A and B are shown apart, each in its own frame.
Chain A
């Protein structure tokens, strides 16, 4: 055998590509053969160490959704394995599907009332005035870091209280960012559960709301706030 062919047969043997020939076995008894065998063995062993174990892919399950009726109209709810990703006023599976595609998230969107049973139950209790704190984990992976900061600050406003865009901006250490705070809250993926409706404009104005001002007032009324405000 010429050298190149012997080496290739050796590589094939090490990879389990085929039967080893008697010729190859004979060559492997020679010093050159032994050296080549050891060298390729080391190369493959190092390769296995380098690339054999890779971090396991995070399991990517479906995004589950359901719809429910509420005093503020139909609600669309969606959740991943990590938690609630969407509460939308009158939203639809098509809208979420389009958003997932835009965000390049290739997950199936599956209707499941069971997967959303707990968020739906807590929301029903809230609308009935029997719940003031949600015990739900939102999945905010799609939110920007700034938005997460703002949503975190909004989450700490208790039911029955209100804050302002300026207060939130100051609380996250960016006093000049009232406008950006308003925008971040306007894109709250899980309104009601993260209570951006408790954030008002300075000077007694209502500010805006993702679901419209009527819904904002309605939610504040449920929490017993509206009567105390002057608008």
Chain B
């Protein structure tokens, strides 16, 4: 029983690994940290694999353990800032017209995302980039779909506020 569950978990983890690492990279601002946190999450998953059979949605369960590991990591992270430069801020396209302004906006948004409370940040990334609905986000964050939606909307309002504060 446990052996079978472990095998199921291996297959599930291998299938969704790239997606989970991309999610964690967006959430943590560092591909390297994302790899570490993903390893940690998958190990927790291996250990809890027998519980997987009770979960109907394996992908949602992976997001849940990955999010828990990421939130723990963010609480412990002593570095003041994430290494957002990993995300290619330097390569933001700079077309001739308004390119500099666009790059400045991206920079502002990156800083604003960085300052979001971790759960808002997680909810925002899940909704915008991981193709998750509010039911799934709520399952990953351990909250109701309504709270998940509120997290996402709050986050986007803050991004707008930060952008408008931008000196013109």
Task: Mark A residues whose CB is within 8 Å of B.
Answer: 7-8, 11-12, 15, 17, 39-40, 42-61, 101, 104-106, 108
Q: Give the total of B residues in contact with A, Cβ under 8 Å.
A: 48
**Contacts known (A46-B106, A55-B86); A7 close to B157, Cβ less than 8 A:** yes
Residue of B18, B22, B160 with highest tally of chain A CB at under 10 A = B160
Residue of A49, A51, A101 with highest tally of chain B CB at under 10 A = A51
The reply on B113 being an interface residue by CB < 8 A is: yes
The residues in B between 14 and 47 inclusive whose CB is less than 8 angstroms from any CB of A are 14, 17-18, 21-22, 25-26, 31, 34-36, 38-40, 42-43, 45-46
Task: Mark B residues whose CB is within 8 Å of A.
Answer: 10, 13-14, 17-18, 21-22, 25-26, 31, 34-36, 38-40, 42-43, 45-46, 84, 86-89, 92-93, 102, 105-106, 108-110, 113, 124-125, 127-129, 149, 152-153, 156-157, 159-160, 163-164
- New A-B contacts (4) at CB < 8 Å, excluding given A40-B156, A47-B124, A49-B93: A8-B153, A15-B152, A39-B163, A57-B25
**Contacts known (A43-B109, A50-B110, A108-B10); A57 close to B163, Cβ less than 8 A:** no
Q: Decide: A101 and B109 in contact? CB cutoff 8 A.
A: no
The 7 closest A-B pairs by CB, nearest first: A57-B21, A106-B42, A46-B109, A43-B159, A54-B25, A57-B18, A46-B105
Q: Decide: A47 and B159 in contact? CB cutoff 8 A.
A: yes
Nearest chain B CB to A47 CB, angstrom units: 5
**Contacts known (A11-B156, A55-B25, A57-B21); A42 close to B39, Cβ less than 8 A:** no
